[in-house]
Structures are given as C-alpha cells and as structure tokens.
Amino acid sequence: MKQKQAHKPYRSLVALNKTGSTTRVLNLAMVARTYGTTPEHSAQPFFRSLLLNRGIVLKHRLRADDAPLLSGRAGTATKVIIPFDPKNLGAGGASFLVGEKGWLDLVEELSDSDENFARDRSLLECLDGLPSFDPFLLREHLRRAGFRPADCYFAISANDRERMRRFVEVEIGKLIDLAYQGQRISDGSSGKLVEILLASDTDDRLEPLRLTLRLEGEAYREGIFSWKGFLYYKWVLADLMVTLKQVVVELGQLEISDSVNAEIRTFVAKSRARLQRTIQRRVRDVGLTLQTYDEAFARLTGAGDAVAFREFLLASPAMFLELGERVGMISHIASFWRYRFPPGTPLRAGADDILDLLQDFETGLAQPTLYLAA
C-alpha cells in the first residue's frame, strides 16, 4: 500500500477528521470513535476487517500518477485509506485503490477468514459502483445488495430525515391519492406510506402503488429505487441552491495571499470564471434531468398516464447514476467550499492551495453531459 502522510490542511487526514463523512468521503474512523462502544457498531459492522472498519473510503479523482495503477480507467476511483493511528490522523496512513493491481491481496491480508475476505471484497466492489456516498442512497444501495451495516454508519441526521420525509410526502401526495383511492394505510396517513416507501420497496402495503405503476419483479424494485434516488436528489438540489449561489459569487472574489507572477494570477482568474459558468451549467443540466421526472410524474398524477411514468422508471437506472455523479460533485463543491471558507472569513489563500482547489473542482465538473430523455 502507498504511504500517505498528512500535508496540505484541506487535503489532510486531519481535515477529514474534522469534516466526517461527505458525499465523497465515508469516514469510518470517525464513526468508530463516536459509536465504537455501542452494541450496534460491533453487531453490524460496515466491514468485517477491523482495520478496514476504522479506515476512510473516498471517491478519488484519478490523476496522471494514478494511470499505472488503474490501466485504461479515467474519472473517479474508490480509494481506501487505513490510518496508522485512528486516534491521531495527523500520523498519516496507507492507501490503495479498488481495482488496482494487487488490491485483492491487500484486502485478503486485512481479513481474518476467507468468509470475511469475500464479504469485504464484495462490499468494496459495491462501493466502487456508486457515483457518490450520499448517505441515504448509500444505505439503500447496500441494502439492495444484501449489506445491512448499522444505522450509525449513515450520517443522516434525524432532522435531515424528517425534512426529507416532509418533502417526499408533499411530492407524492397526488400519487398516494391516485393509487390508494381513499383506502386507509395503517393509521390512514400519507406520512405513514412515505415512511414505508423510504424504508422498503417490497412491503405488502405498497401493492396498490405497484399496480398503479404496472411494474413487476426486478423492474419494480429497480424503478422504485431509482425513483427514490430522483426524489432524494431533487431534495438535495433544492437544499443546496442558496449555498451554491453564494459559492458562485465568492469564487469571483477569491484572492491569492502570497506573491506570484502575472501568469498564475491570470490563470486563476480564468479558472474562477470557468468554474462559475460550469457550476451554473451543471445545475441547469441537473434541473433538466429532474424535469424529465417532473413531466412524467405530472402525466401520471394529472392525466392518469401510468405508461409514461412506467417508461420513465424503466429508463431511470442509467439516468440515476449520471445524476448521482453530477449532484454529488456540486454538493461536494458547496460543502467543501463552505468548510474551507466559512461565512465571514477572508476569501484568501496561498497560490498552491487555490490552484489545487480549482483543479479539483474543474476536474470533477468536466464530465459528459447528462443523459436526457427524448
């Protein structure tokens, strides 16, 4: 494994120790420190390997020096960091990329049995297939793949869960009326159905919904999962918009604090302007993709056109993955920028830090345009 020492403040393991999990970082070391003494943490671990289960998993933007490790792969990879001392992340750690040559040998070395090795390998491959680590979708994706780590591993606050539940309840109220036509669901509340929908896609109480959508078996499960993903991303984007608008403005105000030549100043100015335009374009791209959902859903609830929404659900898994990549990146930009520059602090940093930050943002946003339904 490659040795990783803590270095630049916002790149270091110490910084990860402060921020915890994000859309791009799954900080199991922090979870272990916070919940390590609880029964659920030991009864339902994320990884079976003790070392992996106190590590840090992150979505890593591949750079030129990564090319020999993952031949022919571009974009994002999944990196695993094993801290030398989970209580002192400043000591650095060792790392590997999922899929690099010899990575399975490393995972096997970290495992204490063939069964645990097979399980942790499958889980790492499952994580590698996700566009980001949005906690709600991470939990759903793992559950569908047969992995059920304890709730403490998913950093969704009780407040966020309640806010999302209220958002979804408003969003699908018309569908509930259409599917259930006045039937009582347990206590008769639409909120109860939303809780059932968010918790499961196989509950018998969802049968009227399945019949309304005219889907069967795996197509129904895949469609419901992707639908929940669209609802989640729609909620996330609405929640992000105020911060994103502030970030776009503040990008234009970012200043270099040390002495540099005119060439670097010109490059930073152009990069800031490009990022401002690209963030706005990506938000519009996400909005257009979400609009395909809105239009199909409106045809279902307004005109009773179940076929249009069924076709959307059948096509949604591919759209969902690309949407996740886009929303995950702009969410990362918003949260990381606000961490790096809290409200009221000077928008100034050293040239090296600024260049690294701008490059990371530009690389993440430089992806193909989203799939749009015809």
pLDDT in tens, 243-278: 999 999 999 999 999 998 999 999 999 999 999 999
- Higher-confidence residue of 228 and 350: namely 350
Mean local confidence (pLDDT), 145-165: 80
pLDDT of residue 21: 59
Domain span at 141: 2-155
pLDDT of residue 129 exceeding 70, the answer is yes
Mean local confidence (pLDDT), 27-37: 89
Which residue, 125, 155, 185, sits at the end of a domain? 155
Which residue, 155, 176, 197, sits at the end of a domain? 155
Span of 99-108, 114-123, 181-190, 240-249 with lowest mean pLDDT: 181-190
Q: Which two tokens stand for residue 187?
A: 């206590």
High-pLDDT (> 70) share of the chain, %: 81
My answer on whether 138 and 271 are in the same domain is no
Query: Residue 315: inside a domain, yes or no?
Result: yes
Q: Which residues contact 284 (CB under 8 A, 6 or more apart)?
A: none
Q: Indicate the pTM of the whole model.
A: 0.69
My answer on whether 33 and 127 are in the same domain is yes
Between CA 297 and CA 33 the distance in angstroms is 43
Which residue, 109, 140, 155, sits at the end of a domain? 155
My answer on whether 133 and 246 are in the same domain is no
pLDDT of residue 110: 93
Mean local confidence (pLDDT), 295-322: 82
pLDDT of residue 128 exceeding 80, the answer is yes
- Provide the domain count of the chain: 2
pLDDT of residue 10 exceeding 60, the answer is no
pLDDT of residue 58 exceeding 50, the answer is yes
My answer on whether 15 and 121 are in the same domain is yes
Query: Residue 87: inside a domain, yes or no?
Result: yes
Phi-psi region of 366 (alpha: psi -120 to 50; beta: other; left: phi over 0): beta
Q: Which of the 8 DSSP states describes residue 10?
A: T
pLDDT of residue 372 exceeding 50, the answer is no
Dump pLDDT digits (tens) for 218-243: 778 777 777 777 888 888 888 889 99
DSSP output for 206-229: GHHHHHHHT--HHHHHHHHHHHHH
pLDDT of residue 329: 82
Query: Residue 371: inside a domain, yes or no?
Result: no
Helix boundaries (H) for the chain:
13-19, 28-35, 39-43, 103-110, 114-128, 135-144, 158-171, 173-180, 190-199, 207-213, 217-251, 262-303, 306-340, 351-365
Confidence at 45, pLDDT banded by 50, 70, 90: very high
My answer on whether 150 and 6 are in the same domain is yes
Strand partners, 231: none
Between CA 184 and CA 206 the distance in angstroms is 12
